[in-house]
């Protein structure tokens, strides 16, 4: 039982750390944009317009 | 590194590459042991099912416990890898559209759920479900892990050999036109077979090493001897299959990534009847040609041939790097013109002209971002030595498993009857234990060959790394690189610690 609890605790801690890192360091470029705007954003990035 | 995207500095690109490499290398410490132990615990439990001997039940539970520790520790690195495509490589993620997303989604929904469901039955189902159902759950756990590997490798193979897709300039995404071509790409099949068999080798080496530790400590002798036979048999079959599938993989690489093969061999000027270098200056005559083409006199292009263009054996001409770069620039310009014409409401003929130019030059799209053709050459020294470490260790493991299997099975009897496997000098056991890290080094070397060898491409010929990266602050990537480094190293240390404790406790714990 102790082994199961240890592994479950480790997994939960890891997922919390990952979620915090995502929120703090990696802004979301595309989610809030409309589909056409998303394509336009990536086109700007890729074509360097 | 040539970076033409003015808003993204080189630090972001190189640190993003380093961060992805770090995550992938750590993830690959956990995955192969999961795949390898899945086979071993399945065979051990099958022995229990057939014999009804409770010894095999205890043995199965022991190997399943070690499998579970490794499985739990590996989950997080896999999740981070998938997230990194979106966080660090968002241009790439959008550009590849659902082609790349589909295999990852199937992996997450089907394979991982299957694995997770049956792993629960495997752990909590003893004495609650029938022996047959429990055995099926154990094998299905391993099958789920293997199917999971299949879909991940389909995604990886598509990056190395993009098939079954068409680029849509309106959405700026590649769209899937044939799921079968993507899912059953010959590159994916070879990669899967080679990767999974190499993972079984690690399972075999780990199993034999644990057994040798018990023999060294003169405890759990029956478990050690019986498990060692299984580990060595799995390892031997896997090592021979890995050699065969490696040969097929090499041919695929020769077909679709000849620059990778040339870098693996440090072959600058190719030709017919090429020898395979053991090290610089010593080579096996004609072996490279055979490895690449199944013909001892087959033609293998070198790095200079690929940069300057050459005539293929069938008489067709492979364009030079300069020609490809020129055509790539045309494709990029045509894409920009097409989007501009559409946005300005230009007439259909103008739009179609740009589209035709784009489609004609699309196979070389990625080359348009390359300013110096030398950037098309992957790191030769890394590829050359990583390939030799992988192949050299693979040959060593065939010999290792053959000797262990022969010694434990006492075959041929006349040769082995004087040897008592349970009472050998300590260095025999320590040698087997020392092979565990070497097996990982060999396996990671295989991935170094695969991933360094395709540089500078994220998607072969289509998108180089410096165009694929997200417009992030370099500082964000650097800080998270070190956070991940600390996190993964801690996780690895914790796993090794928990694993060693469980091994020390033994099967009765």
> Chain B partners of A4 at a C-beta cutoff of 8 Å?
123
pLDDT mean over B323-327: 96
Under 8 Å CB-to-CB from B171, ≥6 apart: which residues? Answer: A35, A39, B97
Counting runs of H as helices and runs of E as strands, what totals does chain B give?
18, 10
**Token pair in block for residue B399:** 């010999």
Q: Does the structure show a pLDDT above 50 at B272?
A: yes
The answer to whether the CB atoms of B339 and A47 lie below 8 A apart is yes
Q: Does the structure show a pLDDT above 50 at A12?
A: yes
pLDDT mean over B472-497: 90
Per-residue confidence (pLDDT) for residue B6, from 0 to 100: 45
**Token pair in block for residue B224:** 């050690």
B3 close to B456: Cβ distance less than 8 angstroms: no
B288-299 pLDDT, tens digit per residue, is 999 999 999 999
pLDDT mean over B265-286: 93
Question: Looking at chain A, which residue has its C-alpha nearest residue B168?
Answer: A39
DSSP SS3 for B123: helix
> Chain B partners of A42 at a C-beta cutoff of 8 Å?
90-91, 94-95, 172
Band (B10; pLDDT cuts 50, 70, 90): low
Cα–Cα distances in angstroms (integers) from residue B94 to residues B100, B197, B477, in the given order = 10, 33, 20
B392 close to B273: Cβ distance less than 8 angstroms: no
> Chain A partners of B492 at a C-beta cutoff of 8 Å?
none
The answer to whether the CB atoms of B498 and A3 lie below 8 A apart is yes
Extents of the domains making up chain B: 10-257+379-452+454-505, 260-378
For chain B, what is the mean pLDDT? 92
In this predicted structure, which of A27-31, B245-249, B368-372 has the lowest mean pLDDT? A27-31
The answer to whether the CB atoms of B476 and A26 lie below 8 A apart is yes
The answer to whether the CB atoms of B6 and A48 lie below 8 A apart is yes
Query: Given CA atoms B398, B207, B245, B237 in this order, what sign does their dihedral have?
Result: positive
> Chain A partners of B491 at a C-beta cutoff of 8 Å?
10, 14
The answer to whether the CB atoms of A26 and B472 lie below 8 A apart is yes
Q: From the CA of B400, how many Å to the nearest CA of chain A?
A: 33
Q: From the CA of B252, how many Å to the nearest CA of chain A?
A: 30
Closest by Cβ to B87, choosing from A7, A8, A22 = A22
B84 close to B21: Cβ distance less than 8 angstroms: no
B163-220 pLDDT, tens digit per residue, is 999 999 999 999 999 999 999 999 999 999 999 999 999 999 999 999 999 999 999 9
B379-405 pLDDT, tens digit per residue, is 999 999 999 999 999 999 999 999 999
CA distance B105 to B416: 51
pLDDT mean over B92-115: 85
Per-residue confidence (pLDDT) for residue A9, from 0 to 100: 86
Per-residue confidence (pLDDT) for residue B454, from 0 to 100: 93
Cα–Cα distances in angstroms (integers) from residue B197 to residues A9, B104, B234, B271, B394, in the given order = 32, 21, 9, 32, 11
CA distance B241 to B410: 24
* Largest distance between two CA atoms of chain A: 59
Per-residue confidence (pLDDT) for residue B39, from 0 to 100: 97
Under 8 Å CB-to-CB from B321, ≥6 apart: which residues? Answer: B306, B307, B308, B309, B367, B370, B373, B376
pLDDT mean over B461-470: 93
Per-residue confidence (pLDDT) for residue A13, from 0 to 100: 86
Q: From the CA of A48, how many Å to the nearest CA of chain B?
A: 6
Q: Does the structure show a pLDDT above 70 at B90?
A: yes
List B351's β-bridge partners, or say none.
none
A42 close to B172: Cβ distance less than 8 angstroms: yes
> Chain B partners of A26 at a C-beta cutoff of 8 Å?
87-88, 470, 472, 476, 480
Instruction: Quote the DSSP letter at residue B96.
Output: H
Extents of the domains making up chain A: 2-47
> Chain B partners of A14 at a C-beta cutoff of 8 Å?
75-76, 487, 491
Band (B1; pLDDT cuts 50, 70, 90): very low
In this predicted structure, which of B48-62, B106-120, B432-446 has the lowest mean pLDDT? B106-120
pLDDT mean over B481-504: 92
List B283's β-bridge partners, or say none.
B277
DSSP SS3 for B205: helix
pLDDT mean over B112-118: 85
Q: Does the structure show a pLDDT above 70 at B14?
A: yes
Q: Does the structure show a pLDDT above 60 at A49?
A: no
Band (B416; pLDDT cuts 50, 70, 90): confident
Per-residue confidence (pLDDT) for residue A1, from 0 to 100: 59
Closest by Cβ to A30, choosing from B90, B476, B479 = B90
Per-residue confidence (pLDDT) for residue B12, from 0 to 100: 86
pLDDT mean over B141-156: 93
Closest by Cβ to A39, choosing from B83, B172, B498 = B172
Closest by Cβ to A45, choosing from B5, B65, B335 = B5
By the CB < 8 Å criterion, does A14 face chain B? yes
pLDDT mean over B223-248: 96
pLDDT mean over B21-41: 94
φ and ψ at residue B162, rounded to 5 degrees: -70, 115
By the CB < 8 Å criterion, does A45 face chain B? yes
Instruction: Quote the DSSP letter at residue B274.
Output: P
């Amino acid at each position: 039982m102790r082994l199961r609890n240890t592994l479950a605790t480790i997994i939960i801690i890891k997922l919390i750390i990952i979620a915090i890192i995502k929120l703090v360091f990696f802004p979301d470029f595309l989610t809030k944009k409309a589909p056409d705007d998303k394509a336009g954003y990536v086109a700007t990035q890729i074509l360097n317009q | 590194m040539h970076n033409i995207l003015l808003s993204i500095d080189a630090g972001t690109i190189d640190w993003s590459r380093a961060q992805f490499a770090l995550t992938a290398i750590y993830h690959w410490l956990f995955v192969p042991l999961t795949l390898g132990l899945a086979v071993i615990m399945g065979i051990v439990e099958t022995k229990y099912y057939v014999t009804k001997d409770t010894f095999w039940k205890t043995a199965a539970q022991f190997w399943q416990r070690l499998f579970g520790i490794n499985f739990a520790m590996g989950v997080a690195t896999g999740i981070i890898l998938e997230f990194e495509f979106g966080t660090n490589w968002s241009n790439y993620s959008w550009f590849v559209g659902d082609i790349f997303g589909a295999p990852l989604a199937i992996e997450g929904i089907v394979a991982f759920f299957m694995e997770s469901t049956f792993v629960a039955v495997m752990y909590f189902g003893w004495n609650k479900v029938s022996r047959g159902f429990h055995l099926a759950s154990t094998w299905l756990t391993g099958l789920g892990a293997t199917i999971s590997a299949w879909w991940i490798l389909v995604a990886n193979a598509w990056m190395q050999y993009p098939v079954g897709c068409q680029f849509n300039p309106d959405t700026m995404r590649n769209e899937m036109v044939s799921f079968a071509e993507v899912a059953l790409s010959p590159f994916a099949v070879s990669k899967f077979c080679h990767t999974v068999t190499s993972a079984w080798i690690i399972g075999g080496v780990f199993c034999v090493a644990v057994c040798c530790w018990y023999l060294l400590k003169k405890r759990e002798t029956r478990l050690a001897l019986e498990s060692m036979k299984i580990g060595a048999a799995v390892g031997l079959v896997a090592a021979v299959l890995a050699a065969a599938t490696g040969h097929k993989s090499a041919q695929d690489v020769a077909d679709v990534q000849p620059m990778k093969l040339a870098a693996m061999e440090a072959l600058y000027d190719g030709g017919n009847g090429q020898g395979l270098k053991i090290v610089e200056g010593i080579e096996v005559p004609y072996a490279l040609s055979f490895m690449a083409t199944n013909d001892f006199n087959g033609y293998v292009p070198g790095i200079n041939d690929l940069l300057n263009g050459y005539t293929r054996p069938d008489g067709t001409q492979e364009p030079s790097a300069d020609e490809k770069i020129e055509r790539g620039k045309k494709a990029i310009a045509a894409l920009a013109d097409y989007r501009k014409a559409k946005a300005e409401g230009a007439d259909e003929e103008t739009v179609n002209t740009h589209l035709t130019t784009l489609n004609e030059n699309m196979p070389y799209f990625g080359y348009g971002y390359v300013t110096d053709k030398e950037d098309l050459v992957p790191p030769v020294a890394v590829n050359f030595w990583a390939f030799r470490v992988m192949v050299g260790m693979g040959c060593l493991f065939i010999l290792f498993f053959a000797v262990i299997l022969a010694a434990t099975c006492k075959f041929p009897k006349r040769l082995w009857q004087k040897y008592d496997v349970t009472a050998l000098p300590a260095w025999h056991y320590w040698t087997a234990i020392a092979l565990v890290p070497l097996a990982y080094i060999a396996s990671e070397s295989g991935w170094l060959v695969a991933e360094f060898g395709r540089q500078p491409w994220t998607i072969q010929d289509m998108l180089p790394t410096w165009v694929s990266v997200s417009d992030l602050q370099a500082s964000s990537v650097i800080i998270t690189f070190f956070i991940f480094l600390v996190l993964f190293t801690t996780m690895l240390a914790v796993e090794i610690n928990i694993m060693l404790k469980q091994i020390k406790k033994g099967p009765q714990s």
